[in-house]
Amino acid sequence: MEAIILQVLNGLDKGSAYALIALGLTLIFGTLGVVNFAHGALFMIGAFCAVTLSRIISISHEVVDNTQTDFLGNPLKVDVPYVYDWFGQATGDALIDWAVPLSILFAIPVMVGIGVAMERGLIKHFYKRPHADQILVTFGLAIVLQEIIKYFYGANPIPTPAPDAFRGSFDFGAAFGFDPNVIIYPYWRLVYFGFAAIIIGAVFAFLQFTTFGMVVRAGMADRETVQLLGINIDRRFTLMFGIAAAVAGLAGVMYTPINSPNYHMGMDFLVLSFVVVVVGGMGSLPGAVLAGFLLGILESFASMREVLNILPGLNQIIIYLVAIIILLTRPRGLMGRKGVMED
């Protein structure tokens, strides 16, 4: 029982990342009809927004400490962050400690800007082109973006820890009457799940309860009619691209304490997220979220030692197996709409 609860928890946080990326992918596909293979790169850039803000907050000046020496035997130069000088050491430490949550504020405008620039600068030229062209150009863009990040930040993972308040683990066992020390789950992963739920809820509320969202939904259903009503749907769709980029970016920001970010992390999620979109149903936002969590939990169960002892390697293929089964039985995916990608 404890093992099952743990794997469900594991699946929820993994599913949160899948769901957030797939949600953005679906938003872009549903509005612009573009299959965006650069979406994983947006997740990665979001993570590097956290790295960047963390570095900005930690910008330091050197103070020579004559009591210590460096590796060459010279007096040690100690880095003192400017925030210590400006706000005092306690506040400075708190700012550095909370760099990842603070990065949310930094990442939103950056990611919306990158999304809009990407759509206006490149992707709009491929609206009328076949999906294969869109995939090629966005995949190429993803490689360019990750090489740019590698150039500036290097190839090694960069540790970006959670605030001290969220380090450590919550003992579900002790809290819910099971054996203590068995169902342990890191606080930050619980925060990530909660954060994903809030973002997903906010996107749905935005589309459902605002005039802007209503127009976008109408455009997704029938673009030409909305344009005939005199509404500039292109501008709204461009903004939706920016919002989708921000969703991916925020997913990346909050993921940094879970795994140290590196330039390749977007690619690790990209293919799986596309499978999530296909399983959920192309163009279906609830489908993307549902499939994200479903496949995350299934992948987690398939990684159990008891399962792997019987079927080695199942965890590597479970998502694709499920995708095949669902597409054979429900060709439009779990919640796919009729007519999407069927022309």
Partner 1 sequence: MSKLNLTRRGVLQTGVVAGAGLTLPTYLRAESHAGFTNAPTGDTVTLGFNVPQSGPYADEGADELRAYELAVEHLNGGGDGGLLNTFSSKALQGNGILGKKVEYVTGDTQTKSDAARASARSMIEKDGAVMITGGSSSGVAVAVQALCQEAGVIFMAGLTHSNDTTGKDKKANGFRHFFNSYMSGAALAPILAANYGNDRKAYHLTADYNWGYTTEEAVRTSTEALGWETVATVLTPLTQTDFSSYITPILQSDADVLVLNHYGGNMVNSLTNAVQFGLRDRMVNGKQFEIVVPLYSRLMAKGAGANVKGIFGSTNWHWSLQDEGSKAFVKSFGTKYGFPPSQAAHTCYVQALLYADAVERGGSFNPCAVGEALKDFEFDGMGNGPTLYRGEDHQCFKDVLVVKGKENPTSEFDLLEIVEITPVSQVTYDASIFGGELGACNPGA
Three-state DSSP class for 68? Answer: strand
Could you say which residues in the range 220-259 bind partner 1, by CB under 8 A? 258-259
DSSP assignment letter at 258: T
Alpha helices (H) along the chain: 2-32, 39-57, 82-87, 89-97, 99-121, 131-153, 172-175, 187-209, 211-221, 223-228, 233-255, 265-280, 285-302, 305-310, 314-329
- For partner 1, the closer of residues 76 and 239 by Cβ is 76
In contact, 108 and 97? CB cutoff 8 Å? no
Buried residues in 92-127 as b, exposed as e (16+ CB within 10 A): beebbbbbbbbbbebbbebbbebbbebbeeebbebe
Chain centroid to CA 231: how far? 31
The CB-of-225 to partner 1 minimum distance in angstroms stands at 44
Residue 149 CB, nearest approach to partner 1 (Å): 12
Residue count, binding to partner 1 (CB under 8 A): 47
Task: Map residues 75-104 to x or -, x wherever contact with partner 1 holds by CB under 8 A.
Answer: -x----------------------------
Which tokens belong to 221? 């259903």
Q: Candidates 132, 211, 224, 305: give the one binding partner 1 (CB under 8 A).
A: 305
Nearest to partner 1 of 68, 89 (CB atom): 68
Residue in 18, 43, 48, 185 binding partner 1, rule: CB under 8 A: 185
Residue 48 C-beta: closest distance to partner 1, Å = 14
Task: Identify which of residues 28 and 142 has a Cβ nearer to partner 1 in the complex.
Answer: 142
**Torsion angles phi and psi, residue 272, rounded to 5:** -60, -40
Q: Is 157 in the site for partner 1 (CB under 8 A)?
A: yes
Among 33, 268, 286, 337, which residue sits at the site for partner 1 (rule: CB under 8 A)? 268
Distances (CA, A) of 310 to 10, 297, 322: 21, 19, 18
Token readout for 214 is 């209503």
Distance of CA 54 to the CA centre of its chain: 18
By beta-carbon proximity to partner 1, the closer residue of 159 and 194 is: 159
From residue 113 to residue 152, the character string flagging contacts with partner 1 as x (rule: CB under 8 A) and all else as - is ----------------------------------x--x--
Half-sphere exposure at residue 321, Cβ-oriented, CA atoms within 13 angstroms: 9
Pick the closer one to partner 1 by CB: 221 or 321.
321
Residue 304 interacts with partner 1 (CB under 8 A): yes or no: yes
Amino acid present at 284: S
- CA distance readout (Å), 278 to 26, 241, 261, 272: 9, 19, 27, 10
The answer to the question of residue 260 lying near partner 1 (CB under 8 A) is: yes
CB of 304 to partner 1, least distance (A): 6
Query: Closer to partner 1 at the Cβ: 10 or 134?
Result: 10
Contact 21, 268 (CB under 8 A): no
Contact pick of 168, 194, 201, 331 for partner 1 (by CB under 8 A) = 168
Query: Based on CB atoms, which residue is closest to partner 1, 117 or 165?
Result: 165
The verdict on 64 binding partner 1 (CB under 8 A) reads no
Q: Is 60 one of the binding residues for partner 1 (CB under 8 A)?
A: no
Q: Which residue has the tokens 């794997």?
A: 7
- Catalog residues that contact partner 1 under the rule CB under 8 A: 2-3, 6-7, 10, 13-14, 68, 70-72, 76, 147, 150, 154-159, 161, 167-169, 181-186, 188-189, 258-260, 262, 264-265, 268, 299-300, 303-305, 308, 315-316
